[in-house]
Amino acid sequence: MGQRTPLYDLHLALGAKMVDFGGWDMPLHYGSQVEEHHEVRRDCGVFDVSHMTVVDVSGSQAKAYLQHLLANDIERLQSIGKALYSPMLNEQGGVVDDLLVYLMDAGYRVVSNASTRDKDLAWMRLQSVDFDVQLQERSELAMLAIQGPHARSKTAELVTSSRANLIQSLKPFEGQPDGDWFIARTGYTGEDGLEIILPAEQVVAFLNDLVGAGISPIGLGARDTLRLEAGLNLYGQDMDESVTPLVANMAWTIAWEPASRGFIGRSALLKQKVEGVSAKLVGLVLEERGVLRAHQVVRVEGIGEGEITSGSFSPTLGKSIALARVPAATSERAEVEIRGKWYPVRVVKPSFVRNGKALI
């Protein structure tokens, strides 16, 4: 038996097929993964993401600590509530995890992945020893993501007037507290929407309200196809501790300036940048029938080979798509080996669908 969120029994009551995900018992789907995917793209749906790790960072050197810990620059958070996406690197420049940081009144809130919880906390604590900083894991909190073009308007109808006003006023990549709730306009689907952190004892009633209002519960299956269509990396597949942001389509998350900021992994990344990267993460589109899957071999004629890191059928596009790490010289065409046969694929920018619209 894995770890369970406060919503485990409700998932079962809603007919969820439960699976292990990073040591957690989580819903894969509630009947149809494809229908759930379309529901988010066309209307909205709600995900249980209470397994995510929430850590509040405070203390007189909280900013200096995060400037050291993260590849992106925490100084970019110039107003309360603003969010920053950043990788957390090891000394070799590999990705320990990717996370969101919010500037709060009393410090910062870090939200990172569930499967990396123990590793992340150990790394964060290890790096904190030279700083006047306190790390508080908020395991008493739960988290829901309501995603889709109608997510904000439908959610606003179900909450207090102050929370409704906050939901309507939030800018993208911003989060603000209202009482014991923290409401952010962020997500992992390529759609507009919300991520709401709230006390665990309140989450069952709130999810019941959402589902009762016709907002469909969505499982991990659709969550994966939605994030893949959006070109969003999944930790453990598209990047990990052996992969640097420079070869994971995450170079934009590295803040090189100011040059004096010595974040963990900087020297290794500079060396790789100077020497030149040998690989890159791209998008692939299979124009023929078939399904692209992780670990399938990608062949680029006259250049070399790579590998699919994430692949699936795209319900929105009606064809198979993938993220793949390929030789840096790869241009517009490649081939993928599927069950012993080679199929041509188109190489595209690693983002396929955003806000319900095809980008390829």
Rounded Cα–Cα distance for residues 199 and 139 (Å): 9
Rounded Cα–Cα distance for residues 219 and 21 (Å): 11
What is the pLDDT, as a whole number, of residue 278? Answer: 95
User: Based on the number of CB atoms within 10 Å of its own CB, is 118 exposed (0-12), middle (13-18) or buried (19 or more)?
Assistant: exposed
What is the pLDDT, as a whole number, of residue 323? Answer: 98
What is the pLDDT, as a whole number, of residue 26? Answer: 98
pLDDT tens column, 307-340: 999 999 999 999 999 999 999 999 999 999 999 9
Residues 81-99, mean pLDDT to the nearest whole number: 98
For tokens 């070109």, the residue is 231
Instruction: Please list, in sequence order, all residues whose beta carbon lies within 8 angstroms of the beta carbon of residue 207, skipping any fewer than 6 positions away.
Output: 7, 10, 46, 48, 144, 217
What is the pLDDT, as a whole number, of residue 2? Answer: 86
Question: What CA–CA distances, in Å, run from 138 to 16, 22, 117, 281, 338?
Answer: 26, 19, 12, 34, 44
Predicted confidence (pLDDT) at residue 242 exceeds the cutoff of 90: yes
DSSP state, 82? B
Residues 71-77, mean pLDDT to the nearest whole number: 97
Predicted confidence (pLDDT) at residue 302 exceeds the cutoff of 90: yes
- Does the model's pTM come out above 0.85? yes
pLDDT band at 1 (very low <50, low <70, confident <90, very high): confident
Predicted confidence (pLDDT) at residue 202 exceeds the cutoff of 90: yes
Cβ atoms 37, 44 nearer than 8 A: no
Taking phi over 0 as left and psi of -120 to 50 as alpha, with beta for the rest, 328 belongs to alpha
Question: What CA–CA distances, in Å, run from 13 to 190, 204, 208, 304?
Answer: 29, 12, 11, 50
Residues 20-33, mean pLDDT to the nearest whole number: 96
Mean of the per-residue pLDDT values for the chain?
Answer: 97
User: Based on the number of CB atoms within 10 Å of its own CB, is 35 exposed (0-12), middle (13-18) or buried (19 or more)?
Assistant: middle
Predicted confidence (pLDDT) at residue 160 exceeds the cutoff of 90: yes
What is the pLDDT, as a whole number, of residue 144? Answer: 98
